[in-house]
């Protein structure tokens, strides 16, 4: 072992034993002969590290932070004091999920057309659960072809677009069509008599 290597190891050992050391060569910080700070491994780079993964060093180790207490070190939006987001996560590390966020009502959408049943029991949440929608305007939640904005294409007398007008059930097909006359429930475009 070379004398310079031996002296460097001795200096590091003394530094750690006395809890005081100068900053390493090349550091932009002024020399500090006080105690070296504790650094916490910070995988997500949010400025907060894992309490159980700490090192004492006078220089800043790579991927470490001076603050600890990160409750999810794989998510940079979760750390102590972070703003709570509507994302089903505990962003501020207080043990509660999505508090202080605006929850929205979601209405059952059994036909999956993106419009909820206004008579259905809404649930509150940040995002729509599966088979729920934010618009409670579906007048027939059992038929995905009936909702606001749908085309009235069926010769069945149903108001598919939910605006109050529909082809009459007795409507006839367009004259040039080779298909037989429509019957209620058929899927042909209607032409009024």
Model pLDDT for residues 109-163, shown as the tens digit of each residue: 999 999 999 999 999 988 899 999 999 999 899 999 888 888 776 566 666 666 5
Query: Residue 5 in 3-state DSSP?
Result: helix
CB 42 within 8 A of CB 70: yes
CB 66 within 8 A of CB 40: yes
CB 42 within 8 A of CB 49: yes
Distance CA 111, CA 192 (A): 29
Distance CA 48, CA 55 (A): 14
**Tokens, residue 188:** 């042909």
CB 64 within 8 A of CB 49: yes
Distance CA 88, CA 125 (A): 9
Q: Give the per-residue pLDDT at 146.
A: 87
Q: Give the per-residue pLDDT at 114.
A: 95
């Amino acid at each position: 072992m070379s004398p310079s290597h031996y002296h460097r190891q001795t200096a590091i050992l003394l530094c750690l034993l006395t809890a005081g050391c100068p900053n390493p060569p090349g550091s932009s910080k002024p020399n500090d002969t006080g105690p070296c700070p504790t650094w916490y491994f910070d995988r997500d780079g949010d400025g907060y590290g894992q309490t159980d993964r700490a090192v004492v060093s006078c220089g800043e180790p790579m991927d470490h932070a001076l603050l600890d207490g990160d409750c999810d070190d794989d998510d940079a939006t979760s750390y102590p004091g972070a703003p709570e987001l509507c994302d089903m996560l505990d962003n501020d590390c207080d043990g509660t999920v999505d508090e202080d966020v605006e929850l929205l009502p979601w209405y059952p959408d059994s036909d999956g057309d993106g419009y909820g049943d206004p008579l259905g029991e809404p649930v509150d949440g940040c995002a729509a659960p599966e088979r729920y929608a934010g618009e409670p305007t579906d007048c027939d939640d059992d038929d995905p072809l009936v909702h606001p904005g749908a085309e009235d294409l069926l010769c069945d007398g149903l108001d598919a677009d939910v605006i109050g007008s529909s082809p009459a059930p007795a409507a006839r097909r367009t004259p040039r069509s080779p298909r037989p006359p429509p019957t209620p429930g058929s899927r042909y475009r209607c032409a009024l008599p």
